Amino acid sequence: MSDLPERPPGPDGWPVVGSFPEYARDAFAFETRLAREYGPLTFYSSLGRGFYQVNDPELIETVLVHQNQSFGKGELFHTIVDPVGGDGLLTAEGEQWRRQRHMANPAFHPDRIAEYSQIMVEETEALLSTWDDSETVNVHEEMMEVTLDIVTRALFGMTVDDGGAIADAMDVVMERVSSPISSIVPEWAPTPGNREFFRAIDRIDAVVDAIIEHHRNGKGREDSVLAALLAAQDEEGEGMDDELVRDEVRTLLLAGHETTALALTFTLFCLAQNPAAEDRLVGELETVLEGERPTMADARSLEYTEQVVDESMRLYPPVHGILREANEDVDLGGYTVPAGATVSLNQWTVHRDERFYDDPMVFDPSRWTDKLKESLPRFAYFPFSGGPRRCVGDRFAKLEAKLVLATLYQDRHFELVSEPQLSLSPSITTRPTEPVLMRVHER
């Protein structure tokens, strides 16, 4: 191996706890400071664990693409996520992941995704029908509800009656995994937080089990993703066992609505503070849709709507960072990252880097021109990760965000009621810590 130094520059931190106090106080500010002060690759320690934070698109591409086999999800990721994802597609590694990805891919083929577009619009219209003119709503809760309804109908061929139970359980789950100490408290420890967490997992699993039982009783849609998972076989003719099916359904249920709900929440938040962008969005909807409900064909023509979504996910990426662990010593950015080291790849810092974006803190959908896209390094924008582990549902999520947004803004104007600054939690996803309240007006 090379004689490169192991440690890139970084903060000294405190004895024993390292940089934990600063990270716990404001993780996003801490990661931003490291990126701006220490450059493409920086090192810090926290509670005895070393972190290599990657802030440069080329180095991120190295980790996710060129040397992806040298990095796995890692111990820290599995400690945090395994209780939620089990052995599902999000957490699986190596040959098991490749087998599961192969079985899941047909469900997200473009032709199948096109079939889901009507469901996306219908569920959004159903949500609109529940709002009174000038009613104040928590748009994060409302977006969680509508995306849950979409994912269960589209992927599982049924509706879930107790969506509120899933939303409450998700709040508990995300609060636990966002806590910096969750990685050092063992699952078996009978702490109040652990007990509450596993009660929440049990509530989610009750819904998952009901979905699977619905299909096993012959009541599910035969062309649903769940039906495909139950029938899928690998090259050796083996299918998924019951526990793995459960893990996959849980992963699709949670990942399939959480991130899109956040993208929509942040988009509504940004538009509520940028009337010119909203006016341009509404103008495009009037021109393209001519008063009709949006369709899959329309989505291709909603160019500014797509720019709005892209810009929202740039400024507020629903997934703010990705964890990897080096499987072997790796040369990265002029340093040796030793085997077993934790590597963090930060959408939050890269998406807001002025090297790639003019006025990066400004919400400006019109920046997303072909010229900008051609000039950007490949991983200066990576809301859906990249490389072999790129999100399998990225097309589904992008189409959903566009169609939900188009359906909402055809009929409604959203007035921000809560504070003009978001308080965010660095969970697995980028979650608001307070309700995002808006007054909904009919157009």
Indicate if the pLDDT at residue 349 is higher than 60. Answer: yes
Q: What is the pLDDT of residue 213?
A: 84
Q: What is the pLDDT of residue 185?
A: 66
- Please state, in angstroms and rounded to a whole number, the distance separating the CA atoms of residues 168 and 200: 8
Indicate if the pLDDT at residue 233 is higher than 90. Answer: no
On whether residue 5 sits in a domain, the answer given is no
Q: What are phi and psi of 315, to 5 degrees?
A: -75, -35
Q: What is the pLDDT of residue 231?
A: 75
Domain membership of residue 305 as a residue range:
20-442
Sign of CA dihedral 26, 32, 33, 35: positive
Average confidence (pLDDT) over 80-107 = 73
Indicate if the pLDDT at residue 176 is higher than 80. Answer: no
Of 18-32, 179-193, 291-305, 384-398, minimum mean pLDDT range: 179-193
The answer to whether the pTM exceeds 0.95 is no
CATH of the domain at 352: 1.10.630.10
Q: What is the pLDDT of residues 290-308, one digit of tens each?
A: 999 999 999 999 999 999 9
Amino acid 9 reads: P
| Torsion region of 425: left, alpha or beta (phi above 0 gives left; psi -120 to 50 gives alpha) | beta
- Please state, in angstroms and rounded to a whole number, the distance separating the CA atoms of residues 306 and 217: 40
- Please state, in angstroms and rounded to a whole number, the distance separating the CA atoms of residues 123 and 407: 10
Three-state DSSP at 112 gives: helix
On whether residue 6 sits in a domain, the answer given is no
Q: pLDDT class for 98, splitting at 50, 70, 90?
A: confident
On whether residue 227 sits in a domain, the answer given is yes
On whether residue 356 sits in a domain, the answer given is yes
Count of the separate structural domains present in the chain = 1
Average confidence (pLDDT) over 337-347 = 94
Indicate if the pLDDT at residue 254 is higher than 80. Answer: no
Of 141-145, 236-240, 360-364, 397-401, minimum mean pLDDT range: 236-240
Average confidence (pLDDT) over 350-369 = 97
On whether residue 123 sits in a domain, the answer given is yes
Q: pLDDT class for 179, splitting at 50, 70, 90?
A: low
- Please state, in angstroms and rounded to a whole number, the distance separating the CA atoms of residues 251 and 107: 14
On whether residue 13 sits in a domain, the answer given is no
